[in-house]
Amino acid sequence: MKMHKLLILLIACIGTTAAMAQWQWVDKDGRKIFSDRPPPADVPEKNILKQPGGSRSQNAISPAAVEADSRTEPSTAPAKPVAAAKDPELEKRKAEADAAEEAKKKAQADKLAKERADNCKRAQQSKAAFDTGRPITHMNDKGERIYLDEKDRNAETKRLQSIIASDCGPAPK
């Protein structure tokens, strides 16, 4: 007899637990739906009446109110935006990350500006040497010194002018 009562009590507890894991919502046709799974994504939050664990939705409404609401015309007034709560610690970390990113960008821009200024200076010095008219020599692949002929001299002058135009002008945006 004791075993029988214990079994009944156990079944009652299991049934209560299963009932607590139920979802309740009102569908688009105004019917109340019970399920152990959450409602579809197209069900508005206001139509969810009960969630598992016995918690009731904050915006839950009675089925009678849903039925009355479904008979009226939908509101055309714009919804009020919900103000997001601001976490000061999160805002501080975001500001620090933004400042670090800006510092990194500035360092890269400074490095690029320094490289451009260095390239400009070297190109101007090389062009000045070419403009004197003195013979210019280069080393070939074998390590031999060779003199530039007129064609090579003109090509090198053109290359130096393009470097000067790109690196000595205002910084690109």
pLDDT tens, residue by residue, 152-161: 888 988 999 9
Are the CB atoms for 56 and 64 separated by under 8 Å? no
pLDDT recorded at residue 2: 74
* Closest by CA position to 8, among listed 52, 19, 16: 16
Q: Is the pTM of this model over 0.75?
A: no
Task: Report domain extents, the chain.
Answer: 16-71, 110-173
Q: How far is CA 19 from CA 8, 54, 59, 128, 160, in A?
A: 16, 9, 21, 91, 83
pLDDT recorded at residue 70: 47
Region class of 38: left (phi > 0), else alpha (psi between -120 and 50), else beta: beta
Q: What does the pLDDT profile of the chain (173 residues) look like in tens digits?
A: 677 777 787 777 666 555 555 888 898 888 988 888 888 888 888 888 888 865 554 444 444 444 444 444 444 555 555 445 678 888 899 999 999 999 999 999 999 999 999 989 999 988 888 888 888 888 889 999 988 888 988 898 899 999 989 888 776 55
